[in-house]
Amino acid sequence: MAWKYNYEELLKKAYASIPKVSEATSRFEVPTISGGFEGNRTLVSNLNQIASKLGRDVKHLLRFMLKSLATTGEWKGSKFYFIGKFNSRVLNEKIEKYVKEFVTCTQCGKPDTELHKEKGITFKQCQACGARSSVRSIK
Shortest reach from residue 111's CB to Zn ion, in Å: 9
131 scored as a contact of Zn ion (CB under 5 A): yes
By rule CB under 5 A, what count of residues binds Zn ion?
7
User: Mask of contacts with Zn ion, 97-126, x by CB under 5 A?
Assistant: --------x-xx-----------------x
Q: DSSP of the chain, one letter per residue?
A: ---SS-HHHHHHHHHHTS--HHHHHHT-------EEEETTEEEES-HHHHHHHHTS-HHHHHHHHHHHHT--EEEETTEEEEES---HHHHHHHHHHHIIIIIS-TTT--S-EEEEEETTEEEEEETTT--EEEEPPP-
Closest to Zn ion by CB, 42 vs 113, is 113
Shortest reach from residue 18's CB to Zn ion, in Å: 23
